[in-house]
Chain A
Amino acid sequence: MRRLSLLAGSVLLGVPALTALFGPLLAGPLRSQARPLLSPSPGFPLGTDVLGRDVLALALSGGASLVALAGLSLALAYLVGVPLALLATGRGGGFLLRFLDFVLALPGLLVLLVLAASGWRGAVPLTAAIAVLQLPAVVRIVRTAALAPGCRAAVEAMTMQGETWWRIRVGYLGRAVLGPVLVDAGTRLGLVLYLLASANFLGLGQAPSASDWAVLVERNKQALFLQPFAVLVPALLLVSLCVGTNLLVDQALARRNGNP
């Protein structure tokens, strides 16, 4: 069973990951070259999208930027969020949490719109903004996990044994919260992927003509029933990316927890 699901997870993650990595090398031209929403034909094995572009070429080339942007945003959110959360388990954490609650209460749409209007339209500010918008939720979940009684008992014991702050915080707690963090990251991946696409429609991040999978899904929205491939192919790659990632997360955690 475990082998099988490891295999399933690897394949599900592997297909979009390999596509993202090597697809751009194989992709044909990305320009509009045919009528829009053509059904699959020998010339266009997956048909064309709303702009008359080859869906196959788009799907092959649209993963790299997306995976990179989403991965960077998430990595940034957790690189900042986990230490903050562990810090927030100690004294003075209350203030930090209240500040993050304030960030959480700010409407994301407004923040992204202001970003778009103020000229910060590139990929870097967008990545940072998305990471900041995820930060409060990340901190809350990680902190709560670190405060679980099981953890606490161990922390207290370690403190009494005279372990250093550093070893307790990073060595023990860091590992203890790994489960909730990984699960949270896995489910947050989908959220961030589609957030990137919405941001694109506000004029943020990549050019509107980008072949990014999430952007493709959004752009071909109206064609769902006319030329399903234009929506389903990028959507399936996204779904596969999410499901594969989450299955592998489970796999990694199962190794830690052992089966009952």
Chain B
Amino acid sequence: MARFALRRLVVAACQLAAVAVTVFALTSVLPGDTAVVVLGEHATDEQVAALRERLRLDVPPWQRFAEWLAGLPRGDLGTSLLTGTAVSDEISRGFATTALLALLALAVVIPLALAIGVGTGLRRGSALDRGLNGVVVMLDSIPEFALALVLVALFSLHLGWLPATAAGASGWSLAAEPAVLVLPVGVLVCKQLCALARQVRVGVAEADSAEYAMHVRLHGLPERAVVLRHVLPNGLAPAVQQLARAVDGLLGGVVVVEAVFALPGMGSGFVGAVMARDLPAVQGYALVFAITTIVLNLLADLASRRLVPQREVVA
């Protein structure tokens, strides 16, 4: 296990390097630069030239990339071209908002998806199964903004129970105003529930009807034990991968929810950075996203290994 983890760590470093280089290259080929974005629609050529010089955009890209790399060991992600503040500060602020939303959403989604998935998987074909599946798929396929706007219209504007937007609050301080988070978390839950619950359901259903489950049942094992010891471990493996994707999606920022509820998180931060061609910030965000993705995949693989102890099929 330790060797496996160590090997994956080395590979992860290579993956991060590849992501950094690729993101840098992709951002560099986008037309326009920060100077023209910052100066807006009626900037004169000399204004743009002056700002380019001040932002050091006239320095060759590979040199800026090298400088950025050099800062990494010190945990220095560079300075945002757009705001002039440290990229790490900017990201950590957005991350607080995003992490809070993600944690709350997961705290609801995981138990709910398990309950729905296992319940419907074991009672497949029942009215409960059909009904719940229809509902979770429907919630997922409703356009996110429409779901959000309707919830705001109903619970904030009409009933007045919950605030419509965060209106200036952000980061961990949001935890002090839990009412602000109810609607955004609700929307996120609706969007994440479907894939997870359905993956649990199909896993459980397949495992439950597989030959070995029949086999242990024939041996007279109590149903409870069959489900807990044999059906769930077998059935949950694909769902674990789906969970990794869900967490990844939530931590990568949820652009629509952040916009509708005026919650400045990782999603809007990253989109803003890309649109402004703010290379240091784009690099910083991409790096954080990549680390999240790779760590989650590692965790998902480790979890799968626990469910499925041997590593490879003999073939």
Q: Do chains A and B touch in the complex (CB under 8 A)?
A: yes
Q: Which residues of B contact A165 (CB under 8 A)?
A: 315
Task: Let me know if B238 and A105 touch, CB within 8 A.
Answer: no
Complex Cα gap A224–B150 (Å): 9
Which A residues are CB-close (under 8 A) to B142? Answer: 235, 239
Q: Does A141 contact B (CB under 8 A)?
A: yes
Q: Are A117 and B315 closer than 8 Å at their CB atoms?
A: no
Residues of A within 8 A of B312 (CB): 89-91, 93
Contact B23–A109 (Cβ < 8 Å): no
Q: Which residues of A contact B289 (CB under 8 A)?
A: 105, 107
**Which of B245, B248, B300 counts the most A-chain CB atoms under 10 A from its CB?**
B245
In the docked arrangement, what's the CA distance between A168 and B310, Å?
A: 19
Q: Could you tell me if A109 and B270 are in contact, using CB atoms closer than 8 angstroms?
A: yes
* Residues of A contacting B194 in the complex (Cβ-Cβ under 8 angstroms): 187, 190
Report the separation of the CA atoms of residues A168 and B283 in the bound assembly, to the nearest whole angstrom.
44
Interface string of A1-42 (1 = CB under 8 A from B): 110010010000000000000000000000000000000000
B237 at interface (Cβ–Cβ under 8 A)?
A: yes
Which of A47-55, A56-64, A124-132, A250-258 lies at the binding interface?
Answer: A250-258
* Given A239-B138, A243-B134, A246-B198; A109-B271 close (CB under 8 Å): yes
Identify whether the interface residues of B are mostly helix, strand, loop, or mixed. Answer: helix
- Which A residues lie within 8 Å of B245 (CB)? 137, 140
- Comparing B35-43, B62-70, B85-93, B117-125, the segment that makes contact with chain A is B117-125
Number of interface residues of B (CB under 8 A): 82
Bound complex: CA A243 to CA B143 (Å): 13
Task: Given A147-B304, A168-B315, decide whether A238 and B297 contact each other with a Cβ distance below 8 A.
Answer: no
Report whether over half of chain A's contact residues are helix, strand or loop; otherwise say mixed. helix
| A159 CB contact (under 8 Å) in B26, B123, B300, B315 | B315
| Interface mask (B277-315 → A, CB under 8 Å = 1, otherwise 0) | 000001001100110011001001000100110101111
CB distance from A162 to the nearest CB of B (A): 13
Contact A101 B133 (CB under 8 A): no
Establish whether residues B143 and A235, one from each chain, have CB atoms under 8 Å apart when the complex forms: yes
In the complex, which residues of chain B have a beta carbon less than 8 angstroms from the beta carbon of A90?
312-313, 315
Q: How far is A137 from B203 in the complex, measured between Cα atoms in Å?
A: 17
Note all chain A residues with C-beta closer than 8 A to B19. 102, 105-106
> What are the residues of chain B within 8 A of A153 when measuring CB–CB?
212
Query: Least Cβ distance of B20 to chain A in Å?
Result: 10
> Which of B15, B130, B143, B237 makes the CB contact (< 8 A) with A1?
B130
A180 nearest CB neighbor, chain B only: B238
**A155: CB under 8 A from chain B?**
yes
Docked-complex contact A187 and B140, CB < 8 angstroms: yes
On chain B, the residues within 8 Å of A111 by CB distance are 26
Are B130 and A180 closer than 8 Å at their CB atoms? no
A residues in contact with B258, CB < 8 Å: none
Taking the nearest CB of chain B, how far is it from the CB of A170, in angstroms? 13
- 14 A-B pairs whose Cβ atoms sit less than 8 Å apart in the complex: A102-B15, A105-B15, A106-B23, A107-B23, A107-B289, A137-B245, A149-B307, A165-B315, A221-B145, A235-B146, A238-B141, A242-B137, A254-B124, A260-B209
Residues of B within 8 A of A (CB): 11, 14-15, 18-19, 22-23, 26-27, 29-31, 122-127, 129-130, 133-134, 137-138, 140-146, 149-150, 153, 194-195, 198-199, 201-203, 205-213, 233-235, 237-238, 240-242, 244-245, 248, 252, 270-271, 274, 282, 285-286, 289-290, 293-294, 297, 300, 304, 307-308, 310, 312-315
Give residues in A with beta carbon < 8 Å to B. 1-2, 5, 8, 89-91, 93, 98, 101-102, 104-107, 109-111, 113-114, 117-118, 137, 140-141, 144-150, 152-156, 159, 165, 168-169, 179-180, 182-184, 186-188, 190, 193-194, 217-218, 221, 224-225, 231, 235, 238-239, 241-243, 246-247, 250, 253-254, 256-260
New A-B contacts (8) at CB < 8 Å, excluding given A150-B211, A246-B137: A91-B312, A109-B271, A149-B307, A150-B234, A155-B313, A155-B314, A169-B315, A239-B142
